[in-house]
Amino acid sequence: MEEYSMRLKISFIVSFIALPIVFMVTLMYQNSSFGLFEGFSKGMAIGGMNQKNFTIGVPNVTANNEFGLRSLDNFEGRNKSAVKIKSSKSIPLTNSTSTPSKEINDDEKDKLLDGLLVSGFDEASCISRSQSHFYHKPSPHKPSPYLISKLRKYEELHRKCGPNTRAYNKDMKIIANSKNNSKKSAATTCKYIIWLPANGLGNQIISMASSFLYALLTDRVLVVQFGKDKEGLFCEPFLNSTWLLPENSSFWDAQNVVTYQSMEMTNTSNEYLPSAMYVDLKYSPTNDERFFHCDHNQFLLSKIPLLFLEAGQYFVPSFFMTPIFKDELNKMFPEITSIFHHLGRYLFHPANEAWELITSFYQQHLAKANERVGLQIRVVNPYSTPHQVVMNQILNCTLENKLLPKVRGTKNMSVSSSDKNKTIKKFVLVTSLFQQYGKNLTNMYQNKSTVTGEVIEVYQPSSEKEQKFGDNKHNLKAWVEMYLLSLSDVLVTTYQSTFGYVAKALGNSIPWILYNPVHNTNKEICEREFTLEPCYHYPPLHYCDDGKVIQDVASSFHNIRHCKDFPFGLKLVNTSV
Ligand code: GDP
């Protein structure tokens, strides 16, 4: 009897105390994101915008505010199968003939973007990762099996040597201790890149993607230096690890690190390689040459455990100029024009705070449209490029190319409700630092009927007036708007703007480019872009072997051409079509 009561006690302890503890510990382990966004998602619901003290500044240019905030239950995005989705665990009803297991597999395949993403993440810590496929059109560009295998291997490497791991801590100590001793580079378990931010958010995103590809090509671990200005923007991209440089890292400051430019790379013997080096790929008027694209420099850089990389540019085309990278690149990207599309969708998932703003705005203002037209209007200097000139250019571009309808007379207000339901609705998302553009378009379509009978509504989420640096809310708005633009069916972007490059690549949308209306008087007002790839604005200038100036890019480098929107720059193109 006593033995029986003892057993009873033990089973009580196991079931009511030990099991829940084991369960909790398992959950905590799975949920640990080690990062900036840890814990943010707890208890957060999509659509709860008023819980936040930040709301994106919508309405003063909004033509029509007829849609209230809609929950995902009523969501009618691109993918009608998402209508019934309440939580990311629900299975969307694809069509009546499909079997449940097929639905699960299809949903999983869509969610993981054809294998680009890995499963196993805690969905609540990054809601966008499991929901973005309801908003973006399915991509016709499939990641190659080789790219997928490289990503899975990279994730393993990052788990082994990412920040806060034992290997990382040990390696960083070794590097710190030998940093100033340039006699011999230190022997470490892994090698690293610390990415440093430069310029605006669009520039930073394209340079992070380039740095990540460089990490894949050179078996390095990518660590990013994010300040407070990036809180709430991006999820952690790598499973069960962080890519954030710890705040207390002695490598937060790259000053006093040997610069790549200062070294005579060609004459450097192994004996004199430092443990850390600063690689500056930024554009600067004085820095007119870089031999980063040359095999011999890559060979020497490969021996240095830690590289600080600052670029603010999309330097991926330079890898295609570097012979030692060619084979790997060809295997990873048999389709050369979707590199940033894949890297961007792999790396940049809006964190919950950003995702809440994106989905709320989308559902409130854009979901009901038959067609969404995104206009990204980047005016760097309104004094040299007056708003009226830009406005005329936008109208010429969108009306002449029938992206938006012309207007006539005054509006007929007495449309019956049945006609209203039949009317085609085009909603225009305007992003700009200046409110004039949204306001002008709103006035135009509010007061006049369109020749096609379409209803046009115009929304401009914010008008920040000027670019700000190091400002978290400002960056959040910029990221939200880049992402919203990527959800457009038709996209118009501004020449040379990396803000627009991010939107087009995430959305797989070949945009119309607005050229500089002042300098390019003999050019078209706008023209259709020909690839999703960003332009490398300030590329290498010289050949590696003889140091002579690169004259004819097309005959020297396969798949590289000058950009349409910035002819000095280079971009990857598919030359076989
Ligand atoms: P780029 O300068 O056009 O190549 O784009 P970047 O994103 O690198 O830098 C421009 C920065 O200015 C953005 O990151 C924002 O901070 C701000 N900005 C420019 N245009 C807009 C806009 O339309 N909306 C918002 N919210 N911010 C903008």
CA 467–ligand 1 middle distance (angstroms): 6
| CA atoms 314, 318, 324, 325: torsion sign | positive
Strand, helix or coil at 498?
Answer: helix
CA 356–ligand 1 middle distance (angstroms): 20
Q: How far from the centroid of its chain's Cα atoms is residue 257's Cα?
A: 29
Strand, helix or coil at 514?
Answer: strand
15-49 pLDDT, tens per residue? 455 444 444 434 333 333 222 222 222 222 222 22
459-507 pLDDT, tens per residue? 999 999 999 999 999 999 999 999 999 999 999 999 999 999 999 999 9
User: Of all atoms in ligand 1, which is nearest to the CA of residue 203?
Assistant: 8
pLDDT of residue 273: 80
CA 154–ligand 1 middle distance (angstroms): 31
Residue nearest to atom 10 of ligand 1 (CA): 200
Instruction: Kindly report which listed range (88-92, 192-196, 215-219, 451-455) carries the lowest average pLDDT score.
Output: 88-92
Please name the residues in contact with 506: beta carbons below 8 A apart, sequence gap of 6 or more.
136, 341, 344, 345, 348, 482, 483, 486
Strand, helix or coil at 164?
Answer: coil
Query: Which domains are seen in the chain, by residue range?
Result: 145-347 (no CATH), 352-572 (3.40.50.11350)
Please name the residues in contact with 514: beta carbons below 8 A apart, sequence gap of 6 or more.
377, 390, 393, 394, 397, 492, 493, 494, 495, 525, 526
The strand pair at 560-562 and 449-450 is best described as: unpaired
The strand pair at 449-450 and 425-432 is best described as: unpaired
Name the residue with tokens 């710190």. 176
Residue 183 has pLDDT above 90, yes or no: no
Helices (H) and strands (E) in the chain, counts: 18, 15
Residue nearest to atom 8 of ligand 1 (CA): 200
Residue nearest to atom 16 of ligand 1 (CA): 467
Name the residue with tokens 């990278």. 325
The share of the chain scoring above pLDDT 90, in percent, equals 61
pLDDT of residue 492: 98
Q: Write out the E strands in 346-473.
A: 371-377, 407-408, 425-432, 449-450, 455-459
Residue 53 has pLDDT above 50, yes or no: no
The burial of 184, by beta-carbon neighbours within 10 Å (0-12 exposed, 13-18 middle, 19 or more buried), is given as middle
Residue nearest to atom 5 of ligand 1 (CA): 499
When pLDDT is cut at 50, 70 and 90, the band that residue 50 belongs to is very low
Residues near ligand 1 (Cβ within 6 A): 199-203, 378, 431-433, 462, 464, 467, 474, 477-478, 481, 497-499
The share of the chain scoring above pLDDT 70, in percent, equals 73
CA 566–ligand 1 middle distance (angstroms): 18
55-81 pLDDT, tens per residue? 232 233 333 322 222 222 222 333 333
Residue in 456, 446, 452 with CA at minimum distance from that of residue 371: 456
Strand, helix or coil at 127?
Answer: helix
CA atoms within 13 A on the CB side of 177: 9
Residue nearest to atom 12 of ligand 1 (CA): 467
CA 66–ligand 1 middle distance (angstroms): 29
CA 478–ligand 1 middle distance (angstroms): 6
Please name the residues in contact with 409: beta carbons below 8 A apart, sequence gap of 6 or more.
448, 449
CA distance 552 to 545: 16
Other Cβ atoms less than 10 A from the Cβ of 420: the count is 10
Task: Estimate the crossing angle of helix 201-218 against helix 472-486, to 10 degrees.
Answer: 80
pLDDT of residue 368: 93
Residue nearest to atom 25 of ligand 1 (CA): 478
CA 466–ligand 1 middle distance (angstroms): 9
Mutate to test the pocket of ligand 1, among 467, 485, 496 (most ligand atoms within 8 A of CB): 467
pLDDT of residue 482: 98
219-245 pLDDT, tens per residue? 999 999 999 999 999 999 999 999 999
The strand pair at 560-562 and 570-572 is best described as: antiparallel
Higher-confidence residue of 182 and 544: namely: 544
How many residues would you count in the chain? 577
CA 353–ligand 1 middle distance (angstroms): 19
Residue 274 has pLDDT above 50, yes or no: yes
